[in-house]
Amino acid sequence: MFIVRNALKNLWRNKGRNILIIIVVAIISAASTISFAIVQAAQHARSSALQNTQITAQISLNRNALIASSSKSSDSSSDKPDMSAVNKAMQEKQLTLADYQKYAKSEYGVASSYYIETSSAAEVSGSISTIDSSSSSSNNSSSSGSSKSSDSSNNSDKSGSGEQGGKGPGGDGGGMMMTSGDFSLVAFSSDEAIANAPNGTFTMSSGQVFGYSQTDDNEVLISKTLADANNLKVGSTFKIANVSDSSKTYTLKVVGIYENSSDSSSSQAGGPMASAANDSANAIYMSVATLKKLGLDSTKTLTVTDSQGNSRTTQAAQLSYTYVFSGKSDYDKFVADVKAAGLSSDYTVSSMDVEQYEQSLVPFDNLAKFAKTLLIVVLSVGAVVLIILTIFNIRERKYEIGVLTAIGVKKVKVAAQFAVELLTVVFVGLIIGTGIGAATSVPVSNSLLSSQVASQQTQMEQQRAQFGRDMQGGPGSQDSSSSSSSDSSSNSSQKDSKSTQAAPQEPGGLRGGMQKASSMISQVNATVNWATIGIMLLIGLALTLLASLTAAVFVMRYEPLQILADRS
């Protein structure tokens, strides 16, 4: 008790220095509390933010793995891969609908799934003409359609040998891949698939969406642009032709006319060399049952002759299959389980939603790194300052130490007295600093986060100024035509006239990542929890122990008689 009473008395006797120590500890505690709050918020955002968010994913061929495998298996001494073998492997390894459906089970964590098949068709003279966006006029001869369809079929080099996946034909690269012919036939498996149409957001101008039964009368949706150009309305019928055999025609019935909501949907993909089928206005929507009735689904093949007279066989339609999950934990389970179930390493599972969210966390990750660096610097500097103050305190109270040890107080008890004093002062500063940190952690972290986001946006603006436009992502990046999975479930009902709408779209690439970042990281709340308070208590104990050990070393070195002699 003597040690405690004497320590408390000395706290008041040396109140100036103790107040300085309290201020130092409070500053250390406040900075550390804010840093820990930011780091924990970043960890929480990364681990749990997508747990209750709908996520879509695809299984696609791993082109890089096939190329690497081809290089290793090549007999030649050159490291150059055998691209003919790669293309052949990609043709042979395309997953069928049955292969995709094998993994579309709840036991793999899948909440739902849908798929889209894309084929192409040619004009039939006198029935319907395409919209030619390059010349702002429609094609007026069937011979032009025949010539376009005879060049190649259904994007065979891309859909037959390219990677599958994405929210629409062509993957998450946005929109449909370049196809040949005059019309693109886009077939949907369900309303959920329509909500993620490859050409983006659309609304019904008249009529309603088709059914999914094979008993329907070849019901289709056509764009308002195409309907107006050909004087078609709900209930009209028209004919299209097979791209490989123009004598084989199909009669389709218009049950709805849709209007693209996004301006980008009206543009023609692939540039001036693309066929009319790549113009979204020439997209004909139907059910997969109708496409199967026409014999143009992914299970069928077409024999196509190119302009050099070479014949080849390709799939009649490109298949894009999408799995939907209720959260990231289900997605992670799916990735692990399908591999365990025997999915070859030639395939990879990917999710644009997860990739976009990872990109959106870049500003927050940078902030978390800054917080960790700040924490290390503050603790290091704070510990040094506290030790220096303790050393000065011990040196100034050397005579007191000499008197106490001369009257018989053991050096261990004297050192314990200084430890009690330090512990009391440190914990007072710790309480004050933690309180300040808890009160300011949210506004400070938001301010720092805003600066990080502003820095990212400044970089984007600089790149935009450099390129004269938004910087585009590489192959497989999502652009304005790919849809946001988090909104797709809100548009599941597509039956009401003049109300059918696909899921809202979000731009991809750097611009889309920044927009995604703004919506995601604004939900992060860097509040102080009990774990942070517990860590701060441990930090206080560590600082006290370090300073107390320093005091003990100096106390043990002092000889009481020498101290008194020097004093006299």
pLDDT tens digits along 352-394: 888 888 777 777 778 788 888 988 998 898 889 888 888 888 8
Q: Are 347 and 442 found together in one domain?
A: no
Supply the pLDDT for residue 238: 95
Residue 166 lies in a domain: no
Q: Are 302 and 443 found together in one domain?
A: no
Q: Which of 314, 335, 351 is the last residue of a domain?
A: 351
Residue 219 lies in a domain: yes
Arithmetic mean of pLDDT, 280-288? 92
Supply the pLDDT for residue 432: 92
Q: Do 445 and 36 form a contact (C-beta atoms < 8 A)? A: no
Arithmetic mean of pLDDT, 192-200? 88
Condensed to tens digits (0 to 9), the pLDDT of residues 135-172 reads 444 343 333 333 333 343 333 333 333 333 334 433 33
Q: Are 435 and 364 found together in one domain?
A: yes
Q: Are 33 and 116 found together in one domain?
A: no
pLDDT band at 36 (very low <50, low <70, confident <90, very high): confident
Q: Do 497 and 209 form a contact (C-beta atoms < 8 A)? A: no
pLDDT band at 185 (very low <50, low <70, confident <90, very high): very high
Q: Are 290 and 201 found together in one domain?
A: yes
Is residue 264 over pLDDT 80? no
CA of residue 440 relative to chain centroid, distance: 30
Name the CA radius of gyration of the chain, rounded: 35
Strands 249-260 and 219-223: parallel
Q: Do 138 and 444 form a contact (C-beta atoms < 8 A)? A: no
pLDDT band at 103 (very low <50, low <70, confident <90, very high): very high
Rounded Cα gap, residues 383 and 546, in angstroms: 8
Q: Are 429 and 536 found together in one domain?
A: yes
Q: Do 334 and 121 form a contact (C-beta atoms < 8 A)? A: no
Residue 141 lies in a domain: no
Q: Are 251 and 321 found together in one domain?
A: yes
Supply the pLDDT for residue 478: 38
State the DSSP string of 299-341.
Answer: T-EEEEE-TTS-EEEEESSEEEEEEEESSHHHHHHHHHHHHHT
Both structure tokens of 557: 């070195």
Spell out a b/e string for 417-428, using b for 16 or more CB atoms within 10 Å of the CB, else e: bbbbbbbbbbbb
Condensed to tens digits (0 to 9), the pLDDT of residues 312-368 reads 677 788 899 999 999 888 999 999 999 998 888 888 899 988 888 877 777 777 878
Rounded Cα gap, residues 567 and 388, in angstroms: 23
Domain total for the chain?
Answer: 2
Q: Do 124 and 239 form a contact (C-beta atoms < 8 A)? A: yes
Q: Are 562 and 443 found together in one domain?
A: yes
Q: Are 310 and 413 found together in one domain?
A: no
pLDDT band at 190 (very low <50, low <70, confident <90, very high): very high
Spell out a b/e string for 361-382, using b for 16 or more CB atoms within 10 Å of the CB, else e: bbbbbbbbeebeebbeebbeeb
Is residue 268 over pLDDT 70? no
Supply the pLDDT for residue 234: 94
Strands 249-260 and 202-207: antiparallel
Q: How many CB atoms lie within 10 A of CB 499?
A: 12
**Contacts (Cβ under 8 Å, ≥6 apart) of 109:** 325, 329, 330, 331, 333, 334, 337
Q: Which of 309, 333, 351 is the last residue of a domain?
A: 351
Is residue 512 over pLDDT 60? no
Instruction: Give the type of residue at 436.
Output: I
* Percent of the chain clearing pLDDT 90 (strictly above): 18
Question: What's the number of CA atoms in the CB half-sphere (13 Å) around residue 75?
Answer: 0
Residue 201 lies in a domain: yes
Instruction: Give the type of residue at 31.
Output: A
Q: Are 114 and 2 found together in one domain?
A: no
Residue 487 lies in a domain: no
Q: Are 232 and 328 found together in one domain?
A: yes
pTM of the full predicted structure?
0.64
Residue 419 lies in a domain: yes
Is residue 222 over pLDDT 90? yes
Residue 24 lies in a domain: yes
Is residue 244 over pLDDT 70? yes
Q: Do 193 and 182 form a contact (C-beta atoms < 8 A)? A: no
Condensed to tens digits (0 to 9), the pLDDT of residues 411-440 reads 888 888 888 888 888 889 889 988 898 888
Residue 436 lies in a domain: yes
Supply the pLDDT for residue 288: 93
Q: Are 341 and 312 found together in one domain?
A: yes
Supply the pLDDT for residue 70: 63
Supply the pLDDT for residue 302: 73
Rounded Cα gap, residues 349 and 358, in angstroms: 16
Query: Which residue range forms the structural domain that includes residue 6?
Result: 1-51+352-448+524-567
Q: Do 510 and 471 form a contact (C-beta atoms < 8 A)? A: yes
Condensed to tens digits (0 to 9), the pLDDT of residues 449-483 reads 676 666 666 766 776 666 665 554 443 333 433 33
Rounded Cα gap, residues 194 and 542, in angstroms: 60
Supply the pLDDT for residue 134: 55
Q: Do 291 and 187 form a contact (C-beta atoms < 8 A)? A: yes
State the DSSP string of 405-435.
Answer: HHTT--HHHHHHHHHHHHHHHHHHHHHHHHH
Rounded Cα gap, residues 217 and 234, in angstroms: 13
Q: Which of 290, 323, 351 is the last residue of a domain?
A: 351
**Contacts (Cβ under 8 Å, ≥6 apart) of 548:** 415, 418, 419, 422, 423
Instruction: Give the type of residue at 234.
Output: V
pLDDT band at 82 (very low <50, low <70, confident <90, very high): low
Phi, then psi, of 191 in degrees rounded to 5: -60, -35
Is residue 186 over pLDDT 90? yes
